[in-house]
Structure 1
Amino acid sequence: MIENNIKNIRQRILLATERCQRDPKEVTILAVSKTKTTADIKQAIAAGQDCFGENYIQEGVQKIQFLANPGLTWHFIGSVQSNKSRLVAQYFDWCQSVNSLNCANRLNYQRTSFQKPLNILIQVNINNEQTKFGVSLKELSTLAEQVSQLPYLKLRGLMAIPALKETYHHQLIIYQKMSEAFQELQNVYTSVDTLSLGMSNDMEAAIIAGSTMVRIGTAIFGSRVQK
């Protein structure tokens, strides 16, 4: 099932990129494996998937340690709790949810000097929702400049979890705002190359707007178990 699901996602990416004349290789699939077993992850690996995203720090670390596969890339996409940020800094390759200088400073301090810099995406609250984390577009340039100065972090781009809109057109308008912010960041920082935008239900609009990474959980692994 998982192998077929990944094939279906690749086909959806192909069709979406054809619509906007993009190369499908520009879009990375991040398999969101939160609450899923290592057996599920192994099935995805067998289908050629090598990038995985986790929301829960300790669960993610356990999987990273158990699989012990240097060919995999692990992204932390959940809220970075201050008492657990050291685990993110030590075990993950990417953190997609940096939303403050305090968070960035902690990760920079806790990343060891013999590791590669931790790849960072700044989380943007594009809809200014009270229930979601992230900086506003007005705050973005200041935080990006601060993150870019930290030696053990590498600023790679932006991540957002926009609210689902009732129509494709309204969804696309929101995503284009993120794409514009991403392009502005690219003009300033040569390291910026990743726009993490779009999930199982809205990946087409995200890709057409310029997303380079889609975070897919349900459409690969099936409905997730609530923790």
Structure 2
Amino acid sequence: MATIQQNIDNIRSQIRHAELAAGRERGSVRLLAVSKTKPAQDIAAAYQAGQRHFGESYLQEALSKQRELAGFDITWHFIGPIQSNKTRPIAGHFAWVHSVDRLKIAKRLSEQRPAHLPPLNICLQVNISGEASKSGITLAELPQLLAEVKALPNLRLRGVMAIPEPETDYQRQCHPYRMLYQTVKQLGMSGLDTFSFGMSGDLKAAIAEGSTIVRIGTGIFGVRIY
């Protein structure tokens, strides 16, 4: 069985090859290790392998692991759905939030961000495939929400996140990412430098279409527990 170190080395190699194939600069894509449902010791093993950015979806589980790993220089990303009553601990314990999909949540995160911390990095989640089972705004709603969130203090609006409907065909994988990337670029808003695109199954397509952060869980830690 491959170790977490070997898995991370393999994913990083895939990222480098995808950057090269897309004519992208080496190191232009960051690996976000999705550690939800995985124990703190697995995160520690990934940390020892050089990984520093970790994504969590379940707040109480994440806070428990943050306490256990308080001595590690980890950058924590929240990537799951956000309920209004969870915004305060998210605002206080994460450096990034990828899953903002309404102004109410963004306002609460801004208001509740502790004054001693730097602005919270924000990505807006776009439901690019229009799936009823997934969170996120529509592409048509994106320009207005971008403008509204950008105006909020204590937040740093960075870009967008998407989880398209799963596809095995490469061109079909590329299409939604290309559409979203082009929409954001056409808006011409300053500071939008982050495209949280791509998981294990569509990493190459996501990087070809502009991804700057790929979110990998199973490829690093194995099958999720639940």
Whether these two folds match at TM > 0.5 is yes
SS at match of 1:84: helix
* Match of residue 106 from structure 2: 104
Alignment partner for residue 15 of structure 2, among 13, 19, 38? 13
Deviations 1:128-171 (A, max 9, x none): 11111111111111111111111111100100000112411111
**1:188 is matched by which residue type in structure 2?**
M
What is the 5 A alignment of 1:1-227? 1-69=3-71, 71-185=73-187, 187-189=188-190, 191-226=191-226
Deviates more, 1:157-166 or 1:48-57: 157-166
SS at match of 1:60: helix
Distance in 1 (CA, whole Å) between partners of 2:4 and 2:184 is: 32
SS at match of 1:79: coil
**1:225 is matched by which residue type in structure 2?**
I
Deviations 1:187-212 (A, max 9, x none): 212x2211000001111100011100
Distance in 1 (CA, whole Å) between partners of 2:156 and 2:124 is: 11
SS at match of 2:134: coil
Distance in 2 (CA, whole Å) between partners of 1:2 and 1:70 is: 17
- Alpha-carbon offset, residue 113 of structure 1: 1.6
SS at match of 1:188: coil
- Alpha-carbon offset, residue 182 of structure 1: 3.1
SS at match of 2:125: strand
- Alpha-carbon offset, residue 70 of structure 1: 6.0
- Alpha-carbon offset, residue 69 of structure 1: 3.8
Distance in 1 (CA, whole Å) between partners of 2:149 and 2:157 is: 7
Runs (4+) of structure 1 exceeding 3 A deviation are none
Distance in 1 (CA, whole Å) between partners of 2:140 and 2:184 is: 13
Question: Can you give the 5+ residue segments of structure 2 that lack an aligned partner in the other structure?
Answer: none
Percent identical among aligned pairs is: 47
Distance in 2 (CA, whole Å) between partners of 1:181 and 1:107 is: 25
Distance in 1 (CA, whole Å) between partners of 2:17 and 2:61 is: 34
Distance in 2 (CA, whole Å) between partners of 1:33 and 1:163 is: 22
SS at match of 1:137: coil
Deviates more, 1:13-22 or 1:215-224: 13-22
- Alpha-carbon offset, residue 71 of structure 1: 2.3
- Alpha-carbon offset, residue 18 of structure 1: 1.3
Aligned length: 224
Distance in 2 (CA, whole Å) between partners of 1:82 and 1:74 is: 20
Distance in 2 (CA, whole Å) between partners of 1:70 and 1:3 is: 17
CA contact 1:17–1:208 (8 Å) conserved in 2: yes
- Alpha-carbon offset, residue 181 of structure 1: 2.4
Q: What is the root-mean-square deviation in Å for CA atoms of aligned residues?
A: 1.1
Question: Can you give the 5+ residue segments of structure 1 that lack an aligned partner in the other structure?
Answer: none
- Alpha-carbon offset, residue 76 of structure 1: 0.2
